[in-house]
């Protein structure tokens, strides 16, 4: 069996979780009480799909019954743009919102968090791009995720697409953290299979990248390993049978834990590549992460062989009798196979061609997570990974 990999246990590290989490079946029903503790007027930020699915209706009704006079902004797109965030902020300000409720996946929650900053401090969201540029507290946010994937309900970041630069601009601050996250697996029961697969693999990417990133720490490692177990062991059930509450709950909890972990470590080259094609081609973020995850794992394998082998064990494989290298290679192959079983489209079907790869590699290099990849990245190495993903095929040649 491959050796355990604990990392440097003597290294100092911080661990933050400023968001209070309320997890459980029916947790979303507490929204009125939570909002009333923060203000008198509530404003919901969501997207058209979540609105059409009827998931906003009970939230809006609960807030109205509590006298919180809820307004609604439902204009969030899959990769929220600067203009969308600024419009949501203006609408919340015009409504006189004391609290903003983000209902949806990562796009809706990121928009709610970023809009809360602009609504309080003015300007445009790009005025706050970067780490800790936000000058003070934002309008309080309550996050209600309707997917089990992004983990935005507990992170300090919002990612906003700048269509001028073709760049996903990060806004990161302690002040972006939601005051409370109402994490309710029942809110995911109507999520279609393809979105369940994409968002679930997004969460698995968070867990794997958070575990292998250079700035990982023992606490983040622990929650990421459990997240991998929950997601890998239940995602296919959740995709195949959407009303399986046990499977939905496991994946939802895994997503939450993965976000708590990577929020205190980082993401790395997978996200750098995924955010590049999201900015240039509007590819859904979870799908993009799933496409690149096994290729980046293969690229990083020599730097983190013990951790990669342990990822395989977290996914349920017995590596007794295997060398560390063999176990690590099987872990990469297992992730690649899972992506294919969940019918994630290959990169070649996203409209991206070879001529696009140089600008994608250049954009990936700009990502704040790139320096935390366990292998130092260059434009040339990103270009090679994009090319490998475009060709398709096994990410790692099997060893002896």
The CATH number of the domain holding residue 249 is 1.20.1090.10
Domain endpoint, select from 153, 183, 213: 183
Q: Are residues 218 and 164 in the same domain?
A: no
Examine residue 97 and state whether it is found in any structural domain, yes or no: yes
Are 260 and 380 contained in the same domain? yes
Q: 344 is in which domain, residue-wise?
A: 193-391
Buried b (16+ CB within 10 A) or exposed e, 320-341: eebebbbbbbbbbbbbbebbee
Number of domains in the chain: 2
Blockwise average pLDDT, block size 10, the chain, 400 residues: 59 91 98 98 98 97 97 96 98 98 97 98 98 97 96 96 94 97 98 97 98 95 97 98 98 98 96 95 94 98 96 93 95 96 96 96 96 97 97 71
Contacts of 201 (CB under 8 A, 6+ apart): 149, 235, 286, 287, 289, 290, 293, 338, 339, 342, 344
Q: What pTM was estimated for this model as a whole? A: 0.94
Pick from 193, 183, 197, 185: nearest CA to 241:
193
Query: Does 45 map to a domain?
Result: yes
pLDDT value at residue 398: 47
- 3-state SS assignment for residue 167: strand
Residue 239 shares a structural domain with residue 383: yes
Tell whether 143 is covered by a domain.
yes
- Looking at the structure, tell me whether residues 199 and 133 fall in a common domain: no
To 5 degrees, how large is the angle CA 370–CA 227–CA 242? 110
Residue 272 lies in a domain: yes
8 occurs within a structural domain: no
- Do 148 and 283 have their domain in common? no
In terms of domains, do 205 and 352 share one?
yes
Evaluate whether residue 343 is within a structural domain: yes
CA distances to 6, 95, 263, 369 from 14, rounded to whole Å, are 17, 38, 11, 18
145 plus 197 within the same structural domain: no
């Amino acid at each position: 069996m491959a050796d355990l990999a604990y990392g440097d246990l003597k290294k100092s590290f911080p661990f933050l979780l400023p968001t209070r989490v309320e997890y459980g079946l029916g947790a979303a029903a507490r929204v009125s009480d939570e909002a009333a503790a923060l203000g008198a007027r509530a404003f919901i930020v969501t997207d058209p799909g979540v609105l059409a699915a009827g998931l906003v209706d009970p939230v809006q009704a609960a807030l109205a019954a509590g006298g919180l006079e809820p307004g609604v902004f439902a204009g969030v797109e899959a990769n929220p743009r600067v203009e969308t965030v600024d419009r949501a902020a203006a609408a919340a300000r015009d409504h006189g919102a004391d609290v903003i409720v983000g209902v949806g996946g990562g796009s809706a929650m990121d928009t709610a968090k970023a809009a809360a900053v602009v609504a309080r401090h003015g300007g445009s969201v790009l005025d706050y791009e970067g780490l800790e540029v936000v000058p003070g507290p934002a309008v309080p946010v309550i996050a209600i995720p309707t997917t089990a994937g992004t983990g935005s309900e507990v992170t300090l970041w919002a990612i906003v697409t700048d269509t001028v630069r073709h760049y996903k601009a990060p806004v990161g601050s302690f002040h972006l953290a939601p005051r409370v996250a109402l994490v309710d697996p029942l809110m995911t029961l109507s999520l279609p299979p393809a979105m369940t697969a994409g968002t679930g693999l997004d969460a698995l990417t968070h867990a794997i990248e958070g575990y292998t990133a250079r700035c990982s720490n023992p606490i983040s490692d622990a929650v990421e390993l459990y997240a991998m177990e929950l997601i890998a062991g239940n995602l296919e059930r959740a995709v195949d049978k959407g009303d399986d509450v046990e499977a939905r709950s496991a994946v939802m909890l895994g997503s939450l834990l993965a976000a708590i972990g990577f929020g205190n470590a980082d993401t790395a080259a997978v996200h750098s590549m995924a955010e590049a094609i999201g900015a240039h081609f509007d590819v859904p973020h979870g799908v993009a992460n799933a496409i690149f995850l096994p290729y980046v794992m293969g690229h990083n394998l020599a730097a983190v062989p013990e951790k990669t082998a342990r990822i395989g064990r977290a996914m349920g494989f017995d590596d007794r009798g295997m060398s560390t290298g063999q176990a690590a290679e099987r872990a990469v192959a297992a992730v690649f196979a899972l992506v294919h079983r969940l019918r994630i489209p290959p990169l070649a079907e996203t409209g991206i061609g070879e001529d696009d790869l140089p600008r994608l590699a250049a954009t990936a290099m700009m990502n704040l997570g790139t320096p935390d990849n366990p292998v130092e990245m260059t434009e040339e190495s990103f270009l090679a990974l994009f090319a490998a993903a475009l060709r398709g095929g096994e990410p790692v040649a099997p060893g002896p």
